[in-house]
A and B are shown apart, each in its own frame.
Chain A
């Protein structure tokens, strides 16, 4: 082996060892993951943070926190179920939305960004309905939605790509993962501070009925 090759190989080896060392250091010094929590032990304060989109009575004792994906068909049906529940108990329930865009849905994150950007201008639910109506909108169509809602377009475009909006979505996802959400829609139904996790919207309707009987 010629000295030039030896020199270059030593350099490469040095870089590789340094990289592996730094990666290992970074990996082993990272902050510990919060422990997984049993869904039956979820408290309202665990999944409810200020600033998320919500509707219904803000002071209601019964709270539904939904983790939803705007490109998922059962979330669209879930939205209808929630609407029916709100119509049936207009003043007794508070609904809070949190994003849970699944990786299998190519545009779920984009839709979450659009809805979150609309939320910054007070039109989250309107944007959600428009997205759910079609569920195959591209970025251009999302802008048409925003325009039809009378949003400030410059702000909307800026918000959609902003770090704050991304962070809000990531925070929602992290909370969901921490409390055992792994499919959409997943709901947390609270009476006071006591909550239960409900997967799928058909069970939600049943459980809400049960809870409301006691209220």
Chain B
């Protein structure tokens, strides 16, 4: 996959994650029922661990995906000497998302004992972003736009 395509895929995934996390945040703020095929979503949403320092976990998720999408969007415009730094940043961010998602999934499975499908969707997206951020980091070539290079 070319670096441009890889960047677009990461951007699209980050936007998908942004939608999922944004919806969860909105439902949490409205204290609304989370549409789910089982009772797991409400159980997770009502559990004390669904908030950290008084802020819903979904809000952190929203900012995580938003910043990831912004990083992907800005990347093609950064000067060549900063490209490496951005690849590092993406990898750092991808790893953070993956570790946090893994911890949240652990909480669902072993502490809350309920599965929220929306949270699982977010965890899968975060995992995919992590893998892609490694690929982007390993890519030797800089992110170049063929027509503008």
List A residues at the B interface (Cβ < 8 Å). Answer: 1-5, 8-9, 11-12, 15, 19, 23, 26-27, 30, 103, 106, 109, 139, 161-163, 166
Contacts and interface: CB of A to CB of B under 8 A. Distances in A.
B77 A4 contact: yes
Which among A15, A27, A103 has the highest number of chain B CB atoms within 10 Å? Answer: A15
Contacts of A166: 39, 42-43
Contacts of A11: 11, 15
A23 B26 contact: yes
Given A5-B74, A15-B18, A26-B26, 19 more contacts: A1-B77, A2-B76, A2-B145, A2-B148, A3-B147, A5-B73, A5-B76, A8-B72, A8-B73, A9-B73, A11-B11, A15-B19, A27-B30, A30-B30, A109-B43, A161-B38, A161-B39, A161-B40, A166-B43
Given A12-B73, A109-B46, A161-B38, A4 B22 contact: no
Interface SS of A by simple majority: helix
A161 B11 CA distance: 37
A3 B149 CA distance: 12
A176 B11 CA distance: 45
A8 B145 CA distance: 13
B109 to A, nearest CB: 13
A163 B75 CA distance: 46
A106 to B, nearest CB: 5
A104 B107 CA distance: 19
Interface of B: 4, 7-8, 11, 15, 18-19, 22, 26, 30, 38-40, 42-43, 46, 48, 69-70, 72-77, 113-114, 145, 147-148
Nearest to A165: B39
Contacts of A9: 73
A1 B74 CA distance: 8
A4 B4 contact: yes
Nearest to A105: B48
Contacts of A5: 73-77
Nearest to A7: B73
Contacts of A30: 30
B38 A8 contact: no
Contacts of A4: 4, 7, 76-77, 145, 148
A6 B147 CA distance: 14
Contacts of B48: 103, 106
A162 B76 contact: no
Contacts of A161: 38-40, 43, 114
B90 to A, nearest CB: 14
A115 to B, nearest CB: 16
